[in-house]
């Protein structure tokens, strides 16, 4: 090449330009929103986060660490068939599987919450004693949504079908059917409304492998209005960051950040929140460079 | 009919499908914004709330009650002549009157705040000892606004003309002319800036009939930007819900939720806040089913 | 009821308030956009058209007829499971079937184009010699889209599977894979780029029963930008109205108006175009009142 | 003043900085939209046109004339009471009256079409033989709109009450009730759908004083979507400019440009069209400088 | 003039209609956003604030003072060449210089933060012992941004070049390169993340002349999303108002309010926050009227 | 790599995935809008076109050719310093130079029109007898804009400084100062208002090397509202495509597509038009594959 590559912008998320081989943490987007019951738009989450990470520094003054040092690889976005959840889940499972098999940590950017099932299926194959930690506004425990068993409103129920009793730990939940709340209390580990009780995980999951799924509608809509089903009365960004700080000490084998629907918030503030959250989360997850 | 009605969506607000006859609480929309001094758009409030209530569950985990059990009837939206406040007020008064006469509780969704005058006129006819409780950012006590005595900026002054001294109890007020604040202090019961003092109503109104008017611009614009005249420095959703909890113990004979201008907030978060607020308010107001 | 129903707004589309029993033409919405490959949002088409028909007169000065006289019934919108095309198609087929069986003409408002398959399946059951007339920008003839055989990009191929050779007549097509154009030419009746040749249908379909599917992206994006996959270089509104005038003389047994994604065009002009088009189309289809 | 005024932006419309005394043509805004039946927002028309005229040159290459030479004074916007049409009309009439009395030509920027009544009342006082030329999509001839006789949907009927039979000449009309079309044909001079027949005015109004009211929804929504009641099927900008060219030869005593609702078209294209149209219209109306 | 000027709207910011001669505080806009690294739009800040101040009362119930009494003159907006920072800075410096020389207090409304350099250059000429107080989310201390030394990301570094060590006092900073934080700590007076330590200024600047620059992205994006580079995790409006209250007791010789990009927040809430903030800040700065 | 790259989306423009080495035509983005005089936003043009090309087929049914066969390489977007036009121009010139030196055809996607100067400087170095063909709404011939000589409003004047008399051929121009039109007529080859006279180039430039610069505001705003300075009264897409068809027969050595400001048109129609235009233009420019 007779031109200077350095004159061009880097298209990866905020300094995550490490090659796949050298990386320890691997980012990929799952731009699917076919199962969104109220408002679609989460399909634009990964690409808009990548683009708007341009406005974010790679350095975190709170953690005093830099994402450019964190050996994260950004693979880009999966090509997923709109409106066909089973096929989309297969692709998410396949790439998660590859990353896990290579001994790396998969980090998925959604996309609607239904995609989490694919990543959990892959993680469960490698870690049969997997526990699932759900930070979310909604129970997502319906048996089906208007007959659809793969809806984002049913994703935790499908995970329950795989994991069984007492292995889903839910925090921040503030919306659902009465039956879903009852199911969550009898078959899972429900901590409604706040994140205060995440520290209980030290006892309940201890050193077991965990997958952490973050549905961004957990945050109050004043902080993140750009999501398909905004649910007023949520947690603050500081509360979520504090919880992630705690969670980073567990044995994490996979994680995701779902349900940013960026164009529903034309101000871009929602995307900025999601980007900053992902930077801090990646810095907490990535090992110190040598 | 040879087709299955159950295949179709219910167009009423969030599970408020009880018939008029069987209902105890009756919802109606007053889609008028002719008197909005700064930015119109409140005319779209009722229909957009009804539509977006699709994204809200009928069950409240905080109150552990379900709106489907609450016997609320949603009549739909009045047909009101844009730009003719007197005619619009007549229609609001007429329907409020019918609901009150039938022994039911009218709940009006605005529309701009000027419409409250019609509902208060109807309530006063039935309850001559009515007190008015105003949760609002603005005093709304101008004698007139550029000559117009029926402006939303004058609605409380017109209510004062009907009710007389010491029968308007205002909370959360943080904006107005100097003269309006002075008038409110000398002729009414003003509690500026916060809702903390709503408990004083136990003494001031005791068991008397009250009408509660809620101007949504009471909330901080970070929570509800979609309103004609956003006024920074407002109360939180939790503070408002707490106040409503207290108010539900008074002898309520009518209420309204005004000034959502949904399209000013394209994220839909403002509408989601208004919907959730209305659900909780209805659950607090509706009698337990037998 | 002790109140005056006439004070309230009519929630049906533009004067289509005839009861099901008395109607000859029956409107229903199919708010599904799960299969939209590029941008979702067609799910909001039917409800936004109904709402914005408020800004449209029921009288057509061009046709000198009034929709209030046309005996059209508007059933409202189906409740469809986002992201599960097979289930959604079942519901569309069921309601189409009921309407056809009752001897009425079904008119579906989309929703994405995939839903047409459900309506065509119902029509074919009643009319085995059915021909399909497609007004569209895109071929929609892919065998599958990323593996999904029920994508809106495959809907005409699925119809072909049912109807067989030479029974799909396509007009206005200006986008597709090279293979799709070749398939359309060899297996169907393709008239690319314009609507000028619709008159050829007089010969090709004569008095046979026809289903007319209108994908609104047929129109140039300057006229209707609010659609999931805008394709520059389309036909004008006048050209489309002229074609519909001709088509109304055929033996129509069903029709639809698909792919309005109203919120992609915040000006509302796209919805206004779709509403006016539907009014004229209904007036052309509805028999003269006696 | 010790600072340089020339460093600052001129806040008037596109080079219309002539003083009132020296001016021949006087511009003012009537930011009222209280009577808009469908969507408000015309109140922002005048201020947004003034602001966006920043993107328009003062020179017209078609007319080879410059607005800076045309001696136009821009007075700014009237302060009008939202929701009180009678009071707003008084103010419009008062300022129109002053301008006419000073021997100048008033040019009003709307605001909704109801405001035209105020300007016509003033013009009629000075010119009892006034004729009214209406370029519009809608008849605006309802006796009242939901009981309101000053609605923008009734403005031409109110003008008829003042002017009497055969003195309203309407062009481009393509929407209205059947009764309105009949009234227009029997009591006025209706030329529906196009502007082609404006040349007939040479005979019908000859040298009589005329007021020209332009409702911008006359234009096709593809050209000007930013208006309260977009009506598909309108005229092009070239057709309107051609008609204005002809009209400028009549004995004009007042004119207006109504119903731009700029924020309904976030692209700003509608405002750009309105600004360019106003520039050309002013250049056609303003006398050559000496 | 034969017409009544009082019928027209006042185009200045919220009651700031005092003449230049009689004023003590002088407002002007610097509508420049050429140096915005992420998202432009701050050029629309001053004009949109002026326009939307229409929705704000001139009276502050918290301070019990009225802006109409405060003798503030609003000069309007400078005419600045987009994309040429050096020329724009010259114009800002020139007008600031005139205001300072006239013994008045200049208050600049941005525009992007780069413009602060022009105002600081003028202030430093008159007050060689000037200290600079920066309330901001970002360090703005880069030596250059992609080679540009006048970027808004370098503005504090350029001020440092003029002022020297220990004369920039920064509060609320939560974003920057690691090198910038190190520079800020070693060469300036950095108080990261919050405004709590502003009271330390009593000691560090005492009675010395200070210029206060407020970058509105200091506020949390939930409160003010309409800014070019939103940075989650910011201060609340109450915290900022409290800090301004303290700062108003220092010896202020100039100030600015930068980086509102109003159209990025279509709800207008950001502009409302900026307007209210400016009203309170002006009331704190303006001397009591006699 | 242990994962399947084919599962991921291709981030290049519409099938332009050829490597630099194998390519004949090279695409790059110049995301700079610092010099936009009216409304910024062109910086988002290249990235939004790349993203939305997802909704466009690679095959052109009009040309019966496919972009996947056309050996085009998409390098991505340059990293350019906002607000520093000279530095940005250097980078554009450098990369254009590399591409030309490698014997390939550079195609630049803007960005504002000022960037064309960089590309023309590079082309002139290689082709001293270069002619410039400008398709544009605006003259862009100001000596300077508020003192800035590198403004997008001066770009053609700066090109004139390099090229000299009679070597700029402008088509479609419909806006400018009177002086600019006079300059264009006396020093260049001006064809105002339409593109009809492009065929005259056969004589005026014959076989000489030409650079074609396309300012998208040439198109009528009904077709492409998403541009910084929309100028009503423009050409249609069909007229532009016809002109490009003719131009492709000249000896092209460089070209660009400037001034798409995609977010000004939230419907995405403007971006769709720009994408389709670029696809057709690339297919016309690229040699037939062997």
Q: What residues of D are in contact with residue B35 (Cβ under 8 Å)?
A: 34, 82-84
Would you say the C-alpha torsion B195, B197, B202, B203 has a positive or negative sign? negative
Q: What is the pLDDT of residue C2?
A: 84
Q: What residues of B are in contact with residue C20 (Cβ under 8 Å)?
A: 1, 3
Picking from F33, F47, F155, F30, the residue whose alpha carbon sits closest to that of residue F83 is: F33
| D52: CB partners within 8 A, 6+ apart | D262, D268, D271, D272, D275
C-alpha span between C247 and A267 (Å, rounded): 45
> Looking at chain C, which subunits does it touch, using at least 3 CB pairs closer than 8 Å as the criterion?
A, B, D, F
Asked if residue D45 lies in contact with residue D261, where contact means CB atoms within 8 angstroms, the answer is: yes
Q: Which of C175, C225, C265 sits opposite F57 (nearest CB)?
A: C175
Q: What is the pLDDT of residue E2?
A: 84
The arithmetic mean of pLDDT across residues B118-122, rounded, is 98
User: What value, to the nearest 5°, has the Cα angle with vertex B153 and ends B251 and B201?
Assistant: 25
Q: What is the pLDDT of residue A286?
A: 84
Q: What residues of C are in contact with residue D264 (Cβ under 8 Å)?
A: 266-268
Q: What is the pLDDT of residue A289?
A: 57
Write down the domain spans for chain F.
Answer: 23-285
Q: Which of C56, C57, C267 sits opposite D177 (nearest CB)?
A: C57
Chain segment B242-269, per-residue pLDDT in tens? 999 999 999 999 999 999 999 999 999 9
- Which CATH code for domain F23-285? 3.40.800.10
Interface of chain E against chain A, CB under 8 Å?
Answer: 37-39, 173-178, 181, 192-193, 221-222, 225-226, 228-233, 264-267, 270
| pLDDT level of residue E286 (50, 70, 90 thresholds) | confident
Would you say the C-alpha torsion C275, C281, C285, C289 has a positive or negative sign? positive
Contact A91 F7 (CB under 8 A): yes
A81-108 burial: b if 16+ Cβ within 10 Å, else e: bbbbbebbbbbbbbbbbbbbeeebbbbb
Q: What residues of D are in contact with residue C70 (Cβ under 8 Å)?
A: none
C-alpha span between C240 and C232 (Å, rounded): 16
Q: Which of A173, A176, A222 sits opposite B222 (nearest CB)?
A: A222
Contact A87 C148 (CB under 8 A): yes
Asked if residue F236 lies in contact with residue F223, where contact means CB atoms within 8 angstroms, the answer is: yes
Mind telling me how many Å the CA of E214 is from chain A's nearest CA? Answer: 20
Picking from A44, D99, D164, A29, the residue whose alpha carbon sits closest to that of residue F8 is: A29
Asked if residue E132 lies in contact with residue E213, where contact means CB atoms within 8 angstroms, the answer is: yes
Mind telling me how many Å the CA of A39 is from chain F's nearest CA? Answer: 17
Q: What residues of A are in contact with residue E265 (Cβ under 8 Å)?
A: 267
* Rg (chain E; Cα; Å): 18
C-alpha span between F66 and F15 (Å, rounded): 9
Mind telling me how many Å the CA of D230 is from chain E's nearest CA? Answer: 22
Phi (first) and psi of residue F157, to 5 degrees: -70, -40
Q: What residues of A are in contact with residue E177 (Cβ under 8 Å)?
A: 57, 59
Q: What residues of E are in contact with residue A276 (Cβ under 8 Å)?
A: 231-233
HEC string for chain D: CCCCHHHECCCCCCCCECCCCCCCEEEEEECCCCCCCCCCCHHHHHHHHHHHHHHCCCEECCCCEEHHHCCEEEEEEECCCCCEHHHHHHHHHHHHHHHHHCCCEEEEEECCHHHHHHHHHHHHHHCCCCEEEEECCECCCCCCECCECCCCCCHHHHHHHHHCCCCEEEECCCECCHHHHHHHHHHCEEECCCCHHHHHHHHHCCCCEEEEEEEHHHECCCCCCCECCCCCCCECHHHHHHHHHHHCCCEEEEEEEECECHHHCCCCHHHHHHHHHHHHHHHHHCCCCC
Chain segment E59-68, per-residue pLDDT in tens? 999 999 999 9
> Looking at chain B, which subunits does it touch, using at least 3 CB pairs closer than 8 Å as the criterion?
A, C, D, E
Q: What is the pLDDT of residue D289?
A: 56
Q: Number of CB pairs < 8 Å for A and B? A: 65
Q: What is the pLDDT of residue E66?
A: 96
C-alpha span between C95 and C121 (Å, rounded): 11
C-alpha span between C128 and C208 (Å, rounded): 10
Low-confidence ranges of chain D (pLDDT < 50): none
Contact E267 B230 (CB under 8 A): yes
| B220: CB partners within 8 A, 6+ apart | A222, B232, B233, B234, B235, B236
Q: What residues of B are in contact with residue C267 (Cβ under 8 Å)?
A: none
Q: Which of F9, F11, F76 sits opposite A8 (nearest CB)?
A: F76
B6: closest chain A residue by CA: A146
Q: What residues of D are in contact with residue B146 (Cβ under 8 Å)?
A: 79-81, 84, 87
Q: What residues of D are in contact with residue F228 (Cβ under 8 Å)?
A: 55
Spatial strand order in the sheet of C25-30: C72-77, C25-30, C105-110, C251-258, C209-215, C131-135, C168-171, C189-191
pLDDT of chain F, 290 residues: tens digit per residue: 688 888 999 899 998 999 999 999 999 999 999 988 899 999 999 999 999 999 999 999 999 999 999 999 999 999 999 989 999 999 999 999 999 999 999 999 999 999 999 999 999 999 999 999 999 999 999 999 989 999 989 999 999 999 999 999 999 999 999 999 999 999 999 999 999 999 999 999 999 999 999 999 999 999 999 999 999 999 999 999 999 999 999 999 999 999 999 999 999 999 999 999 999 999 999 866 55
What are the distances in angstroms from CA A109 to CA A44, A214, A215, A272? Answer: 10, 10, 10, 14
C-alpha span between A205 and A202 (Å, rounded): 6
Contact A267 E226 (CB under 8 A): yes
How is chain B split among helix, strand and coil, in percent rounded to 5? 40, 20, 40
Exposed / middle / buried, residue D128 (Cβ in 10 Å: 0-12, 13-18, 19+): exposed
Q: What residues of A are in contact with residue F119 (Cβ under 8 Å)?
A: none
C-alpha span between B269 and B260 (Å, rounded): 11
Mind telling me how many Å the CA of B80 is from chain C's nearest CA? Answer: 8
Mind telling me how many Å the CA of C66 is from chain D's nearest CA? Answer: 8
Q: What residues of C are in contact with residue A148 (Cβ under 8 Å)?
A: 81-84, 87
Contact F1 A21 (CB under 8 A): yes
C-alpha span between F144 and F159 (Å, rounded): 13
What percent of chain C shows pLDDT beyond 70? 98
C-alpha span between D5 and E20 (Å, rounded): 12
Q: What is the pLDDT of residue F4?
A: 87
Asked if residue B112 lies in contact with residue B148, where contact means CB atoms within 8 angstroms, the answer is: no
C-alpha span between D55 and D268 (Å, rounded): 11
Contact E2 D102 (CB under 8 A): yes
DSSP E strand boundaries for A67-224: 72-77, 105-110, 131-135, 168-171, 189-191, 209-215
Pairing type for strands F65-66 and F59-60 reads antiparallel
The arithmetic mean of pLDDT across residues A152-172, rounded, is 97
Phi (first) and psi of residue E209, to 5 degrees: -70, 135
Contact D78 E20 (CB under 8 A): no
Spatial strand order in the sheet of E168-171: E72-77, E25-30, E105-110, E251-258, E209-215, E131-135, E168-171, E189-191
Q: Number of CB pairs < 8 Å for A and C? A: 79
C-alpha span between D191 and C225 (Å, rounded): 30
Chain segment B38-59, per-residue pLDDT in tens? 999 999 999 999 999 999 999 9
Pairing type for strands C131-135 and C209-215 reads parallel
Contact B39 E55 (CB under 8 A): yes
Phi (first) and psi of residue C219, to 5 degrees: -70, 150
What are the distances in angstroms from CA F128 to CA C26, E141, F122, F169? Answer: 70, 43, 10, 17
DSSP state of B84: B
DSSP state of E262: G
Chain segment A52-76, per-residue pLDDT in tens? 999 999 999 999 999 999 999 999 9
How is chain E split among helix, strand and coil, in percent rounded to 5? 40, 20, 40
Interface of chain F against chain A, CB under 8 Å?
Answer: 1-4, 7-9, 11, 20-21, 28, 31, 47, 51, 75-79, 91, 94-95, 98-99, 101-102, 266
For residue A236, is pLDDT > 70?
yes
C-alpha span between A264 and F146 (Å, rounded): 38
Asked if residue B253 lies in contact with residue B205, where contact means CB atoms within 8 angstroms, the answer is: no
Contact D151 B114 (CB under 8 A): no
Which residue, among A1, A2, A3, A54, would best test binding to F if mutated, counting the most F CBs under 10 Å from its CB? A3
C-alpha span between C196 and C240 (Å, rounded): 10
Stretch (H or E) spanning E74: strand E72-77
C-alpha span between A253 and A128 (Å, rounded): 12
Chain segment D46-93, per-residue pLDDT in tens? 999 999 999 999 999 999 999 999 999 999 999 999 989 999 999 999
Mind telling me how many Å the CA of B104 is from chain E's nearest CA? Answer: 36
- B211 has which bridge partners? B132, B254
């Amino acid at each position: 090449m007779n031109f200077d590559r350095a004159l061009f912008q880097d298209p990866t998320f905020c300094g995550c330009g490490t090659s796949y081989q050298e990386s320890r943490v691997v980012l990929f987007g799952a731009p699917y929103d076919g199962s969104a019951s109220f408002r679609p738009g989460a399909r634009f989450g990964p690409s808009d986060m990548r683009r708007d990470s341009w406005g974010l520094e790679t350095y975190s003054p709170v953690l005093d660490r830099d994402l450019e040092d964190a050996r994260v690889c950004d693979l880009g976005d999966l090509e997923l068939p709109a409106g066909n959840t089973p096929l989309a889940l297969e692709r998410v499972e396949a790439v998660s599987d590859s990353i896990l098999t290579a001994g790396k940590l998969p980090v998925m950017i959604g996309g609607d919450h239904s995609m989490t099932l694919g990543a959990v299926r892959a993680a469960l194959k490698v870690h049969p004693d997997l526990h699932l930690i759900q930070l979310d506004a909604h129970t997502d425990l319906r048996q089906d949504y208007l007959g659809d068993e793969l809806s984002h409103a049913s994703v935790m129920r499908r995970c329950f079908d795989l994991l069984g009793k007492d292995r889903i730990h839910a925090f921040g939940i503030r919306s659902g059917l009465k039956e879903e709340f009852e199911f969550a209390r009898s078959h899972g580990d429900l901590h409604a409304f706040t994140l205060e009780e995440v520290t209980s995980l030290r006892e309940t999951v201890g050193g077991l492998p965990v997958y952490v799924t973050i549905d961004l509608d957990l945050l109050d809509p004043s902080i993140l209005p750009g999501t398909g089903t905004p649910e007023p009365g949520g947690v603050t960004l500081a509360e979520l960051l504090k919880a992630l700080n705690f969670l980073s000490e567990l044995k994490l084998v996979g994680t995701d950040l779902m349900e940013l629907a960026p164009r529903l918030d034309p101000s871009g503030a929602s995307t900025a929140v999601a980007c900053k959250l992902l930077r801090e989360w990646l810095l907490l997850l990535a090992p110190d460079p040598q």
